[in-house]
Every structure is written in structure tokens, then in C-alpha cells.
Amino acid sequence: MRFVLCVAASLGVAQMAEGQTGAMAADVRWRPTPAQGTLIHILVNPNSESTELGVTGSIAGQQLHFERDPSGEFRALAPIPVNAMETIPFSFAVIERADTSHRMIRIPVQPTEYRSSRLSVDPRFTSAPDEALQARIRSESARSAEVSRRSHFTPPLWHGAWIRPRPSPITSEFGVQRMFNGELRSRHTGVDLDGDTGDPIFASNRGVVSLVGDFYYAGNVVYLDHGRGLITIYMHMSEVLVEEGQLVETGEQIGRVGATGRVTGPHVHWTARYGRVSVDAMSLFELEIPERATSLDSGN
């Protein structure tokens, strides 16, 4: 069996899947509006009441996890990289019994303007690392990547509304191009929230503590796995109050504000990541809160 793809005209785009044939339609929608460095939901409606349907897909090289909601649509979180172009390809497949229909469309992406920031830090954080330090940084990077890999196999844990880790002003936004001691070094991959040393840091949603560490750049850090590829990261803590493997609820205190790692002062650096793609944690607040599905995609 083959499926035809129709993109809703109300989205301002009317692209058809490449290589499509057949008579059954599959509507593809997304919300909120895709923009660089954000999370969105992609919704696929195969227009069939069959209980044996499944949907798999990927975007930006990341596996998506579709769940069927009570309306019959399949829904998945999807990351839009900060460097995405005007459109981004979304590849997916609709599966019914032993038949699979592969499709691809290009989703339009709105540009996001990011400012530049100049910071002064301890020179040891900008000088070339020696061999031992390089090995430490590589090890920490590998541990971080492993958390994202494992998250694809974690069941969905987050539910309800997201909250900020701290109810305090943002001191640095996601995406800022950062100049350390006058030299362009990186793009800011998180949101910095103000705080004094010792102030509480809260879990932004339900999740399992997948990593606790003392990292060279991030300082004392906690990774929360919210399931299906989505994690949040809390950096520069003065004190960690949770342990790996612990399930925490939304709003539960997980640590205290500090100034550990590469920092200019006490704050919490809050990152959201889907798979290997970092996105603006503030885009979590734009997501709809779906009813949990009764069945999952075949790509668990």
C-alpha cells in the first residue's frame, strides 16, 4: 500500500512528498512555527483508522519518536538546529502491516537573530589545553553524548507544563556568539539564569538523573533525561542534591547555584537538547502539552 502526502495549506506551504504514488493521503503539520534553535512538534495523520499503523522519521540526523494520540494523529518532538537553512528535510515512513511507504518533505524554517557577547574569564579557560586536559575534555564530551544516545531508549517521563530552573531574570540568551577575552570562541548553547551562590535550582520537568559530574567547562553539572531523546542540563552548581538514577518531579530541587567551571559569576546555565542538537530551552514553553499516546512508533 502507498500513501500520498498532503501538507496543510494553512501552514503557508504546500509541498508534496517526493516519489509519492497511491490514493491514501497522509497530512503533515507542525507547530509552533519552526525557527532556528527551537523544538517543535511534527504531526502526521495517515487518515486511516487502522490500529496497526506506525510512523517513523528523522530530522537533522536525529531519530524521532512518534506516538499516536487519541485523535489518531502521530506526534513527535523534533529539533530545529540553530544553523538550519531556509528549509530542513524531514524524512518519514508510514507503516501498515508489512508495507512501508517512505516520504520526504522540506519544512520551512524562520531565521533567528542572535546577538554577540564579550566576556572576560580566567585565561586558563582560553589557552590551548595540554594533553591531559584534552583527554579530560574528550572524556566529558563522550559521557555527555552517551546520555543523549541512551535517552532515545528512555520512555517519555515529562508531563504537564515546563518551569524555569530558577524564577530569576535571564542574563544571557541561547544562541549568543561569545567572545572570551576578545576572541570568538563559541555559541552559547543554553540560557543563563541569575542567582547567588547557594540559591536553589529546580527540575524543569519530570525526569531521571542520567549524569552527575564535575566537568572542566560546565563545573558541577546535572543531566536530566526526560525520555524519547529529550534532556535538560544544569551547569555551574555549587552543590548537587541528587544522584544518578534518581527520578525527580517537576519543581523538585536538584542543586544550588554556583560559579564552578568556566564562568564569570554565579548563575545556572540551563540547556535543552534533543539527541545531539542543542535548542533554546525557552522554546519548551511554546510546546503543546499532548495527551499521552496509547501506542508508540516502531522505532523505539
Distance, CA of 118 to CA of 176 (rounded, Å): 10
Model confidence pLDDT, tens digit, residues 128-183: 778 999 999 999 999 999 999 999 999 999 999 999 999 999 998 897 876 655 55
pLDDT of 125 over the 60 cut: no
CATH code where residue 70 lies: 2.60.40.10
Give strand pairing partners of 215. Answer: 219
- Let me know the angle formed at the C-alpha of 287 by 244 and 146, rounded to the nearest 5 degrees: 30
On whether both 81 and 199 belong to a single domain, the answer is: no
Same domain? 189 vs 281: yes
**From CA 198, how far away is CA 208, in angstroms rounded?**
23
Q: What is the pLDDT of residues 97-108, one digit of tens each?
A: 777 888 999 999
Residues 204 and 241 both lie in one domain: yes
The cell for 206 is 519530570
Place of cell 503543546: 288
d(CA 280, CA 299): 26
Residue type, 271: T
- Nearby residues of 239 by Cβ (< 8 Å), 6 or more positions away: 198, 220, 255, 256, 258
Q: Is residue 61 domain-shared with residue 102, that is, in the same domain?
A: yes
Centre a 10 Å sphere on the Cβ of residue 62 and count the other Cβ atoms it contains.
Answer: 18
Query: 81: cis peptide before it, omega within 30°?
Result: no
In a shared domain, residues 7 and 102: yes
Is residue 69 domain-shared with residue 161, that is, in the same domain?
no
Q: SS3 helix, strand, coil % of the chain, rounded to 5? A: 10, 45, 45
Same domain membership, residue 191 and residue 143? yes
Poorest-pLDDT segment among 67-76, 232-241, 251-260: 67-76
- C-alpha 251/C-alpha 161 separation (Å) is 11
- 70: domain range? 3-112
Decide if pLDDT at 49 tops 90: no
Domain count, the chain: 2
CATH number at residue 241: 2.70.70.10
Q: Are residues 45 and 162 in the same domain?
A: no
Same domain, 69 and 145: no
> Is the CB of residue 45 less than 8 Å from the CB of residue 73?
yes
The gap from C-alpha 236 to its chain's centroid, in whole angstroms, comes to 20
Is 192 within the bounds of a domain?
A: yes
Q: Which amino acid is at 224?
A: L
Per-residue model confidence (pLDDT) at position 298: 38
